[in-house]
Chain A
């Protein structure tokens, strides 16, 4: 188990898009322009980096788990062993076109600082995370009275690596607080499909199981 692969994407695993890639990764990859320089923070076993490189993107990765790093390097990917919470400081301003946090943000100790570094290092940021505002999660807390556990979030509260959950609504507030501009947002339903309909935010927050945001610095 890769420590930064924050939760089992069992549903999304089932929902694989063209080329066999996970749908949430395809959504992220679609936001990246060809030829861009990208830093994938918490790149796990490198599946997203591989997808990006197949699309002509110059990708780099940071991964906490040694197994993940070694697997990536053995695949020929440019990945360094490091921690999003401490090592982003080492990167200079504007070093990348995009910095990606794919299913990583909720496992960091200081999500706000990580997001701020992300927008300092990259001209754009892409963040994907499981939405804690989803109706099934709300139901479990409301009726079950316990911390939610789903197929996608199978951990008990005392052993989950996900220490900073948020809802889509919460994330939008954080974006406002750090001065990030939301350029694009995509929600995925529990079957990994994109919710394409133009819907109000409360609807996404209730029915989107995962969210992917493309951000940029507010000028």
Chain B
């Protein structure tokens, strides 16, 4: 992986973290973010994107929560990679989450590296990036920060909150923490807690980062290095968990990469190797290694039942929110059984819940891809909810 050696200077690398290509809101010391770790964090910066128009009644806001390696650039081209937004299949004019009808807000999570406070942001006290001095954050902290953003935007309650994977965890946390502020909730490919297997995969990723000599105990900015190789390996490993065996086989099989015979070396002979290396290389261009540690940790700590004496249903007791839980048949990272557990809890709590399992061989990442059945369900669910909320028909 010699081709990932290109270095940017410190200023370039922290630009998106401190001064992003997105609107930001800053909360000073008088309005700290209370973290689960017991720290009052301030000052706090939140970067976010919005699409569409907030109606006069302020009743058409849709909050989108991004996944582990996502960010706020939902529909617009990404400022670093130039690639299209990560959910432009789902969100946009005439799309299932229709920006001609809804006011869509997507903030970068706390701990992220695209403009919301995180380990790559500059610590005002030292003038250097926080690194490992940044406090450990949780999914609940992410949601608390998003609630502060909504307060700032003058949005009392959102029409819907939606997200996949870690975004789905935030959706569930929203419904549990602020049931009165969420009319409809769409947790996709999510779970009420990170399983031992999930934590295990994350630990492998973190160890890959930390094993890179360039990581320098998290002080790589100060020391002018960047643990690219470690982060790329972490991404390669994680990426396999986002796909299914069938999808990998369909895409690559055992085909060779630009050659007819094996080279009898450790070159990327197979297409699948070349693909994974590419995934690793492109990821490190846009993502901060420490941020990866913090966000994977936040997911590991997620356990809704833990906050409610071990009974998930208690998290949703009396919730007025209507839910649409969606899973994918080939998702083995957040399998359907996890979504069923959410549905079970919601039923036990008497919540209004829909649940659909979508047939696909694309694995966990299916929520980001072209899945017509997913689009039809999201569209239909929001349509029904909009009617119930009294939003004008399109």
Chain A residues in 8 Å Cβ range of B387? 76
Stretch touching chain B among A17-25, A77-85, A132-140: A77-85
21 contacts between A and B (CB under 8 A): A66-B356, A66-B357, A69-B355, A69-B357, A70-B356, A70-B358, A70-B373, A70-B376, A73-B381, A74-B380, A74-B381, A75-B384, A78-B322, A78-B353, A80-B325, A80-B347, A80-B353, A91-B347, A91-B348, A92-B350, A95-B347
By beta carbon, the residue of chain B nearest A39 is B347
The reply to whether B352 and A78 contact each other, CB–CB distance below 8 Å, is yes
| Contact status of A79 and B354, CB under 8 A, knowing A73-B381, A74-B380 | yes
Contact B344 A81 (CB under 8 A): no
Which residues of the other chain, A, contact B325 by a CB distance below 8 angstroms?
80
B347 touches A74 (CB 8 A): no
CB atoms of B352 and A76 under 8 A apart: no
Q: How long is the Cα–Cα vector from A21 to B139 in the complex, in angstroms?
A: 47
Output the least CB separation between A96 and chain B (Å): 9
Smallest beta-carbon distance B380→chain A, Å? 3
The answer to the question of B69 belonging to the interface, with a C-beta cut-off of 8 Å to chain A, is no
Task: Tell me whether A159 is interfacial, beta carbon within 8 Å.
Answer: no
Q: Which residues of B contact A (CB under 8 A)?
A: 322, 324-325, 343-344, 347-348, 350, 352-359, 373, 376-377, 379-381, 383-385, 387
Q: Which among B322, B347, B381 has the greatest number of chain A C-beta atoms within 10 A?
A: B347
- Which residues of A does B touch, CB under 8 Å? 58, 60, 66, 69-70, 72-82, 90-92, 95
Q: Chain A residue with minimal CB distance to B357?
A: A81
Residue of A72, A78, A80 ringed by the most chain B CB atoms within 10 A: A80
Are A73 and B348 in contact, with the CB atoms below 8 A? no
| SS class, residues of chain A in contact with chain B | mixed
**In-complex Cβ contact of B380 among A75, A80, A95 (8 A):** A75
Closest B residue to A96 using CB positions: B350
In the A-B complex, the 8 residue pairs with the closest CB atoms: A76-B384, A74-B380, A80-B355, A73-B354, A74-B376, A73-B377, A78-B352, A90-B344
State in angstroms the CA–CA spacing of A206 and B262 once bound together.
76
Flag if B354 contacts A80 (CB, 8 Å): yes
Give the residues in chain B near A81, CB-CB below 8 Å: 355-357
- Chain B residues contacting A75 (CB-CB under 8 Å) are 380, 384
Q: How far is the CB of A86 from the nearest CB of chain B, in Å?
A: 11
Whole-angstrom distance from the CB of A93 to the nearest CB of chain B?
Answer: 11
Q: Which residues of B contact A77 (CB under 8 A)?
A: 354, 384
Residues of A within 8 A of B352 (CB): 58, 60, 78
In the complex, which residue of chain A has the Cβ closest to the Cβ of B373?
A: A70
- Excluding A78-B354, A95-B350, 9 further A-B contacts by CB distance (< 8 Å) are A60-B352, A66-B357, A69-B357, A73-B354, A74-B381, A77-B354, A78-B322, A80-B325, A80-B347
**Contact of B344 with A73 in the complex, beta carbons under 8 Å:** no
B348, B356, B381: which has the most chain A beta carbons within 10 Å?
B356
CB nearest to B326 among chain A residues: A73
B354: chain A residues within 8 A (beta carbon): 72-73, 77-80
